[in-house]
């Protein structure tokens, strides 16, 4: 790996607590963030169709003898996304106030529905990965956090803060949210407030397939630093065409990926999508360390 997204270099003036300022950039990547300063105005959306025939066979073997919390498609996609962050470090950058930063960690976040009902509350899961993690480590960390949210019905720092602020008088709440926006723009929001905030993660994922929806577009947010969003749709049989025009119906999974196009160019994103596809369609690669190189 030419550049590790998990290294924590010594901080210098202009760096943030969670990231290092990128100081060597070409003119285009210096000027564009200042001309187009808002993340939401710079979204690029990509749909990716994955053949998960091999993945489903691999999961069936992996889950033999496992009765509780088996390996799911979601666990595989989360692992693939984290591995992409290590091997394609520009995907682990963000822009704040026109300045490019490289995150100190590769993190993934998602919401956890405490129960599948209209009135079911949500909790937040936030994974701080390590370079030597494999899918087994990702699976165990997700299991631990889902258990924490669903079984223990425990809160988390970000949700607890939101719930507390929402109960304050309106004028107080307005002042606090205004102050938080100002702190967010300068990268000085209290760490305890955003400890599990998914909009401060490297990649934010949502498994809408679990509620019987197809993947699609999801916006990035102007709050936080998240610049890489993956929407995972429902598993379906779809036609895959051969060169001679014939086709086969195969198990498939569609991802909707939203990125901040200011971070890299189209060629870089194309190779990133190719890597993501390779990792999901060749699941044995997910059993290797996240930071281990892959040919694709």
Query: For 89-106, what is each residue's pLDDT tens digit?
Result: 999 999 999 999 999 999
Query: Is there a domain that residue 6 lies in?
Result: no
Cα–Cα distance list, 167 to 7, 30, 174, 225 (Å): 40, 42, 12, 26
Give CA 61 to chain center in angstroms.
27
Residues 219 and 169 in one domain: no
The boundaries of the domain holding residue 173 are: 157-195
**What's the CATH code of the domain at 147?**
3.30.559.10
pLDDT confidence of residue 53: 97
Count CA atoms closer than 13 A to 245's CA, side-chain side. Answer: 0
Please return the burial class of 40, using the count of CB atoms within 10 Å of its CB with bins 0-12, 13-18 and 19+: exposed
Query: Is there a domain that residue 180 lies in?
Result: yes
Judge contact between 51 and 252, C-beta under 8 A.
Answer: yes
Residues 27 and 80 in one domain: yes
Rounded mean pLDDT for each run of 10 residues along the chain, 296 residues in total: 54 91 92 92 95 97 95 98 98 95 97 76 90 98 89 63 81 89 88 89 96 92 95 96 93 97 96 97 98 95
Residues 67 and 117 in one domain: yes
Query: Is there a domain that residue 218 lies in?
Result: yes
Residues 211 and 77 in one domain: yes
Q: What is the pLDDT of residues 53-103, one digit of tens each?
A: 999 999 999 999 998 999 999 999 999 999 999 999 999 999 999 999 999
Residues 46 and 188 in one domain: no
Beta carbons within 10 angstroms of residue 173's beta carbon: 13
Residues 164 and 281 in one domain: no
Report the number of distinct structural domains present in the chain: 2
pLDDT confidence of residue 2: 44
Residues 34 and 176 in one domain: no
pLDDT confidence of residue 9: 64
Residues 112 and 191 in one domain: no
Residues 227 and 253 in one domain: yes
Please return the burial class of 97, using the count of CB atoms within 10 Å of its CB with bins 0-12, 13-18 and 19+: exposed
H or E segment at 89?
none
Which of 141, 170, 195 represents a domain boundary (last residue)? 195
Alpha-carbon torsion angle 182, 187, 189, 191, nearest 10 = 180
pLDDT confidence of residue 150: 74
Residues 175 and 278 in one domain: no
Which of 168, 195, 222 represents a domain boundary (last residue)? 195
Residues 163 and 231 in one domain: no
Residues 126 and 52 in one domain: yes
Query: Is there a domain that residue 8 lies in?
Result: no
Query: CA nearest 276: which of 198, 196, 201, 203?
Result: 203
R_g over Cα of the chain: 20
């Amino acid at each position: 790996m030419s550049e590790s997204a998990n290294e924590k270099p010594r901080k210098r003036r202009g760096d943030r607590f969670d990231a290092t300022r990128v100081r060597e950039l070409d003119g285009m990547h210096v000027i564009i963030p200042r001309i187009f300063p808002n993340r939401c105005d710079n979204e690029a959306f990509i749909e990716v169709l994955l053949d998960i025939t091999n993945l489903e066979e691999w999961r069936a073997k992996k889950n033999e003898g496992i009765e509780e919390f088996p390996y799911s498609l979601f666990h595989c996609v989360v692992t693939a996304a984290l591995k992409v962050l290590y091997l394609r470090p520009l995907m682990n950058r963000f822009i704040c106030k026109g300045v490019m930063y490289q995150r100190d960690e590769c993190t993934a976040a998602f919401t956890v529905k405490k129960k599948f009902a209209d009135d079911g509350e949500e909790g937040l899961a936030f994974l701080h990965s390590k370079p030597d993690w494999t899918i087994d480590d990702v699976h165990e960390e997700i299991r631990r956090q889902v258990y924490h949210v669903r079984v223990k019905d425990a809160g988390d720092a970000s949700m607890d803060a939101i719930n507390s602020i929402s109960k304050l008088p309106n004028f107080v709440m307005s002042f606090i949210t205004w102050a938080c926006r100002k702190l967010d723009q300068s990268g000085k929001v209290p760490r305890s407030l955003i400890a599990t905030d998914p909009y401060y993660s490297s990649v934010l994922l949502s498994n809408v397939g679990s509620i019987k929806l197809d993947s699609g577009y999801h916006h990035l947010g102007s709050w936080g630093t998240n610049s890489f969003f993956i929407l995972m749709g429902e598993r379906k049989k779809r036609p895959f065409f051969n060169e001679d025009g014939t086709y086969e119906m195969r198990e498939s999974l569609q991802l909707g990926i939203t990125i901040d196009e200011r971070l890299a160019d189209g060629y870089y994103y194309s190779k990133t999508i190719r890597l993501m596809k390779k990792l999901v369609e060749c699941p044995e690669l997910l059993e290797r360390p996240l930071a281990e190189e892959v040919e694709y």
